[in-house]
Amino acid sequence: MGQTANIVELQQVGKKYRDIRALQCLDLYLKAGEVFGLFGHNGAGKTTIIKLILGLIGASFGRISVFGKDPAQQGGREFRSKLGFLQENVSFYAQLTGLEVLEYFAQLKGATRKQCMELLEQVGLKDAYDRRVKTYSKGMRQRLGLAQALLGNPRLLLLDEPTVGLDPIATREFYHTIDHLKHQGCTIVLCSHVLPGVEKYLDRALILRRGRVLAAGSIEQLQDQASLPAVFQLKGQSGLLEELPQELRPLTRSHSKGAELLVPMDERMQALRILTKLRGIDKIDIQLPSLEDLYTYFNQQRFDQEGVL
């Protein structure tokens, strides 16, 4: 495989459980060093996609390739050693210490004891390496799960709700780790219900609903697809609205602390140039459509199309 070859390929993949379609006609391609976000409500198909990539289940139809082979057909240590996986609800042997847990998984993946200690330090568990897992908090168990997923320096990392139970500092450190792995060439698939803060680390995202793709692409591409406006928050002197040029007034909403302008994304630079020339404005804050805004928009579009009450 060349450098530009896809690490993961899903072509028109679907998965059925009896009469339930968990996934419908999905096309997905992931390259080395890409951080890809999977987003959707419970039952949207996120975990099904991860299980298909891991080879834990087979597709009902379509083609799947991971490192050039069908993951449901191939097995063995070589394939598994390329993968790292963190499930949503982490569970380990409660009587083992953190180090003993990692050493157990290290034997399965051919990793060293030295890496176990390095990973415990990396995830902030260096001082708790000899404590039994039953004494760990939920956040500590989640960190141990991340360390387990990173054993063996995987080329493909699959993370299902990885920040559950982490405090804000630990969450920030986790995303710094993701960014570091990305620059080392690791491909990362990230599922999360916690949307704020994740978007700046993503190369692309996929939004699902009931096994169907609602939208896919980079944050910029999703913003273009949604055509949501940029929100300009203006603060300044009284009579601020009267100073606005006529072409901006239809875009304006006033409130007690100033005014808001809802500006089409492709007009925001022109609007900014106009606003910076007005003497009555003291402060301008610009809020672009966030991943959370986009997620809500695309789900609402499908909600309206389905006519769900």
Ordered by start, the domain boundaries in the chain are 229-288
**Average pLDDT, stretch 283-296?**
93
Beta bridge partners of 179: none
Backbone phi, psi, residue 263, to 5°: -110, 130
Indicate the residue type of 94. A
3-state helix/strand/coil string of the chain: CCCCCEEEEEEEEEEEECCEEEEEEEEEEEECCCEEEEECCCCCCHHHHHHHHHCCCCCCEEEEEECCECCCCCCCHHHHHCEEEECCCCCCCCCCEHHHHHHHHHHHHCCCHHHHHHHHHHCCCHHHCCCEHHHCCHHHHHHHHHHHHHCCCCCEEEEECCCCCCCHHHHHHHHHHHHHHHHCCCEEEEECCCCCCCHHHCCEEEEEECCEEEEEECHHHHHHHHCCCEEEEEEECCCHHHHCCCCCHHHEEEECCEEEEEECHHHHHHHHHHHCCCCCEEEEEEECCCHHHHHHHHHHHHHHHHCCC
Cα–Cα distance list, 169 to 143, 172, 269 (Å): 12, 5, 34
Mean pLDDT of the chain: 87
Question: In a 10 Å sphere around its CB, with 0-12 CB exposed, 13-18 middle and 19+ buried, how is residue 29 labelled?
Answer: middle
Max CA separation in the chain (angstroms) = 72
3-state helix/strand/coil string of 116-154: HHHHHHHCCCHHHCCCEHHHCCHHHHHHHHHHHHHCCCC
**Average pLDDT, stretch 139-156?**
91
Indicate the residue type of 258. G
Between vectors from CA 181 to CA 94 and to CA 23, what angle results, nearest 5°? 75
Between vectors from CA 51 to CA 45 and to CA 52, what angle results, nearest 5°? 90
Given CATH 3.30.70, say whether it is the number of domain 229-288: yes
Please say if the pLDDT value at position 244 is more than 70: yes
203-222 pLDDT per residue, tens: 999 999 999 999 999 999 99
Placement of tokens 């698939």 in the chain = 189
Q: For residues 120 and 111, is the Cβ–Cβ distance under 8 A? A: no
pLDDT for position 36: 97
Placement of tokens 């949207």 in the chain = 44
For the sheet containing 252-255, what is the strand order?
A: 252-255, 258-263, 230-236, 281-287
pLDDT tier for residue 2 given thresholds of 50, 70 and 90: very low
Beta bridge partners of 28: 10
Beta bridge partners of 205: 37, 217
3-15 pLDDT per residue, tens: 457 999 999 999 9
Q: For residues 188 and 35, is the Cβ–Cβ distance under 8 A? A: yes
Please say if the pLDDT value at position 262 is more than 50: yes
159-183 pLDDT per residue, tens: 998 887 778 888 888 888 888 889 9
33-59 pLDDT per residue, tens: 999 999 998 889 999 999 999 999 999
pLDDT for position 105: 92
Of the candidates 228, 234, 218, 230, the residue with the CA atom closest to the CA atom of residue 294: 228
